[in-house]
A = this chain, B = another copy of it.
């Protein structure tokens, strides 16, 4: 259930990579190669590449994953969302330029803003919608009372009941709020949940797995970024990342079984 988030902060790259023109790609590819055996997905966060003018390195990274680790899906984390004609362009960005297998999106603009992603390539791409996010301010809108339920619960039900006709939708629910994760699980049945917030953001693995897994012990994509990427800063950074990923994977699996 472990997903490694690829959020390459240029200020935190290992010193031996500093000054190299493709340092971001080299860093992320090393992390990918060291952790691929341990993960169910990789999740590059596009902001880190875009802010560094490293769009081409993101393209190369996703190609690297597909070529060297076939079968591991890539979730492009961009949280896009726009009206239909523009959403089609964002779908092209994600699926034709970057060759992502799934994307994160904001639900605020409604189903027709999501349809170009849901329907892309006969519904073979994953569409992961923000529901209950891991930040404190997430409650500003997501906790608004909508007829006795919170907005994030209404979003969960809307996606599960109305938007997911092709069966390729999932939701983002932060690990920082296990009770709400359990609420969402009770609403959406077997739908996969992408769960950020363990590790640097403080979410507890045991509580996350117990609250979020399906009755058959599946249905979670648990993301860790910084705790794995920056496990060590020296020449051993990739080995340290592998160790951190392995420990996280084992912790997840311990609570997954029972």
Residues of A within 8 A of B (CB): 7, 45, 47-48, 50-51, 53, 55, 79-84, 86-87, 89-90, 92-93, 96-97, 106-113, 115, 130, 133-142, 144-147, 151, 154-155, 158
Q: Which residue of B lies closest to A130 (CB)?
A: B108
Interface centre among A109, A110, A136, by most B CB within 10 Å?
A109
The residues of B that contact A89 with a CB separation of less than 8 Å are: 45, 47-48, 50-51
20 A-B residue pairs with Cβ-Cβ distance under 8 Å, sorted by A, are A45-B89, A47-B80, A47-B82, A47-B93, A48-B89, A50-B97, A51-B90, A79-B81, A83-B133, A83-B134, A83-B135, A107-B141, A108-B130, A109-B137, A109-B138, A109-B141, A110-B136, A113-B137, A140-B158, A144-B151
Q: Which residue of B lies closest to A172 (CB)?
A: B109
Majority secondary structure, A binding face? helix
Q: How far in angstroms is the closest Cβ of chain B from A87?
A: 8
Which of B80, B112, B144 contacts A79 (CB under 8 A)?
Answer: B80
Q: How far in angstroms is the closest Cβ of chain B from A242?
A: 24
A142 pairs with B81, CB closer than 8 A:
no
Q: How far in angstroms is the closest Cβ of chain B from A249?
A: 23
- Cα–Cα distance between A84 and B92 once the two chains are bound (Å): 27
Which of B55, B110, B136, B145 contacts A140 (CB under 8 A)?
Answer: B110
| Contact flag A137-B110 (CB < 8 Å), given A51-B89, A51-B92, A51-B93 | yes
The residues of B that contact A135 with a CB separation of less than 8 Å are: 83-84, 109-110, 112-113
| Contact flag A110-B142 (CB < 8 Å), given A7-B86, A83-B134 | yes
- Cα–Cα distance between A84 and B90 once the two chains are bound (Å): 23
The residues of B that contact A138 with a CB separation of less than 8 Å are: 109-110, 113
B112 pairs with A136, CB closer than 8 A:
yes
Q: Which residue of B lies closest to A144 (CB)?
A: B146
The residues of B that contact A55 with a CB separation of less than 8 Å are: 50, 53, 55
The residues of B that contact A106 with a CB separation of less than 8 Å are: 79, 81, 106, 108-109
The residues of B that contact A137 with a CB separation of less than 8 Å are: 109-113, 115
Q: Which residue of B lies closest to A95 (CB)?
A: B51
The residues of B that contact A142 with a CB separation of less than 8 Å are: 108, 110
Q: Which residue of B lies closest to A135 (CB)?
A: B83
Q: How far in angstroms is the closest Cβ of chain B from A138?
A: 5
Which of B7, B45, B110, B115 contacts A141 (CB under 8 A)?
Answer: B110
The residues of B that contact A109 with a CB separation of less than 8 Å are: 79, 106, 130, 133, 135, 137-138, 141
